Structure 1
Amino acid sequence: MELTNEQVLQIDNYVYVSGVKFFDVRSEIVDHFASKLEEKLTANPNVDIEKEIIEIHKNFGANGFRDFIEQKKKSVKKKFYVLTLRHLKTFFTLPKIIISTAIFVALVFTMNLLVDKEMFFSILSAILLALAFRLLYNVNMRDTNKHTFLVLSLTMHFFNVFYLMVLIFNLFTRNRNNDDFLNNTSNYTQIGIFVVLLLFYWSGESVFYQNKDEMKKQYPTIKI
């Protein structure tokens, strides 16, 4: 027996009040509840919906939805970074390796034009910091009317990982002495690291927007 819109909304409200704020996770749980309730109603049309919802909830264990959400977080996080690293690897195979090489060569050419190598690497550090704070801005300046999706909330985790890498890059730059900036091997190595960080950021953001497009297709009536 198919549930009415009011009954589905009742389940959704119950799941939301129970602490499931992520819309995509909540939708999955609501579908599970709806399927179980339809079976119950088919067997007994007079079943008490509220009591059955509570009974189904008990099947999730003593921690309610908490363990399920944590499991989903781990799964989504793993998938996000697998896709990000897979996207990053494409920049080191044809044809995208041409882009990576072009960026590296352009940076080496620019560095060689400048007398002050320390300033050059300080600029690179500033670029990475700007990208990091762009990520932070995207995380914190969201429209409060929009629903929160677990698959998109990883922007904050990605920011933390990327920002840590940027801090290490900046620390390395500050700890280099004047003589070390005359060492081309060290300079080329640091430029290479910068390119990898740049492409890592690019890859993570690409995966984020891919996930966002998927959510828009899956939930066309929901503001994302």
Structure 2
Amino acid sequence: MKLSEIQIKNLYKFTRQHYVEHYDVQTELVDHLANDIEQIWEEHPKITFEQARDKSFKKFGVFGFMDVVEKKQRQMTKKYFKVIFKFAKEWFRLPKIILTFFLLFAFYKIQELQNGYYIYATIYGVVIVLELIVLINNKRKAKQQFKITQKKWMFKDVIHMNGIGNSAIVFFYMFDFFLPNNTKDFLAMGDFRRVFSAILLTILVIFGYVTLVIIPKKAEQLLEETYPEYKLVKNL
């Protein structure tokens, strides 16, 4: 026996009631539940839809759908960082590699200045602040879009919110761990440490540009590649 459209809608509602917010994850779970319910009906044709649904749900264990949601979150976050690396690699090809080496050389020479530490700290701070501003702005836009579509997409949230926030945290710890925290120690760094710090700040600037400029511009394309149904649902 096949599920009716009303029963499919009931499964979507059921996933939302069990704290699954994102439409793409809901759809995966609904497909799984629907197939399992049909199989349960083959074995027990007399039980009701609700009984079969609950029987299927129990197979997810004590935490219900949470394990599936967390697994999907890790998968989408991993995908996001792969996208970052994909666009970042373009900076190590002609003609952008010329600009990359220019940044590297400039950041190396800045370390010879008396106020070099403050220049480094300012650049780092600007990138992090911009990422946080974009994060707040994206959250505001996401709320507005949800009011219109009533749908959330996990990869979209990762691109616009989680991913930017995670990259900001990564760079915070990289900067705090690898670089001196005062002007005197900064000027006293050896050549190897200076090269390393210049590379670190160059990477920060490139990744900041990728997360703040390139990926937001490519967001719709990336979402349509990830979810074939995204464009159709978005325009409903």
TM-score (norm 1): 0.73
Aligned length: 221
CA distance in structure 1 between the aligned counterparts of 2:127 and 2:180, rounded to whole angstroms: 12
CA separation in 1, counterparts of 2:41 and 2:51? 13
Letter in 1 for 2:183: R
Aligned-partner SS, 2:142: coil
Q: Offset of 1:53 from its aligned partner?
A: 0.9
Q: Does structure 2 conserve the Cα–Cα contact (< 8 Å) formed by 1:135 and 1:159?
A: no
Consecutive unaligned residues in structure 2, runs of 5 or more: none
Structure 2 match to 1:221 = 233
Alpha-carbon distance between aligned partners in 2 of 1:54 and 1:102, rounded to the nearest angstrom: 62
* Residue pairs, 1:145-224, within 5 angstroms: 145-146=145-146, 147-154=151-158, 155-156=161-162, 158-166=164-172, 168-169=174-175, 172=179, 174-177=181-184, 180=187, 189-204=196-211, 206=214, 209=219, 211-214=222-225, 217-219=228-230, 220-222=232-234
- Cα distance in 2 for partners of 1:187, 1:4 equals 66
Match of 2:53? Answer: 53
Structure 1, 181-190 or 79-88: larger mean CA deviation: 181-190
CA distance in 1, matches of 2:43, 2:96: 58
Would you say the 8 A contact 2:117–2:182 is kept in 1? no
**Identity level (%):** 20
Residues 213 and 201 of structure 1: CA distance in aligned 2, closer, same or farther (over 3 Å): farther
Q: Unpaired runs of 5+ in structure 1?
A: none
Task: Note closer, same or farther for the CA distance 1:195–1:54 as it changes in structure 2 (3 Å cut).
Answer: same
Letter aligned with residue 137 of structure 1? I
- 2:164 and 2:211 in contact (8 A); partners too: yes
CA distance in structure 2 between the aligned counterparts of 1:25 and 1:38, rounded to whole angstroms: 20
User: Relative to 1, partners in 2 of residues 1:56 and 1:182: Cα closer, same or farther, differing over 3 Å?
Assistant: closer
Question: Against the structure 1 CA distance between its residues 202 and 35, is the aligned structure 2 distance closer, same or farther, given a 3 Å change threshold?
Answer: farther
- Cα distance in structure 2, aligned partners of 1:72 and 1:185: 41
Q: Describe the superposition over 1:25-75 as per-residue Cα deviations: whole angstroms up to 9, x where unpaired.
A: 111001112233445567888752111111111122232212222222233
Question: For 1:140 and 1:13, how far apart are their aligned partners in 2?
Answer: 24
Aligned CA distance change for structure 1 residues 179 and 98 (closer, same or farther; 3 Å): closer
Between the aligned partners of 1:177 and 1:115, the Cα distance in structure 2 is 9
Q: Secondary structure at the match of 2:3?
A: coil
Provide the rounded CA distance (Å) in 2 between the counterparts of 1:80 and 1:124: 24
Deviations 1:138-172, CA, capped at 9 Å, x for gaps: 45323325233222333325414423423653784
2:84 touches 2:207 (CA, 8 Å); kept in 1? Answer: yes
TM-score when normalising by structure 2: 0.70
- Alpha-carbon RMSD: 3.8
Contact 1:180 1:186 in 2 (8 A): no
| Displacement after TM superposition at 1:197 (Å) | 0.9
Contact 2:33–2:53 (Cα < 8 Å) also in 1 = yes
Is contact 1:125-1:170 (8 Å) kept?
no
Q: Is the 8 A contact 1:181 1:187 kept in 2?
A: no
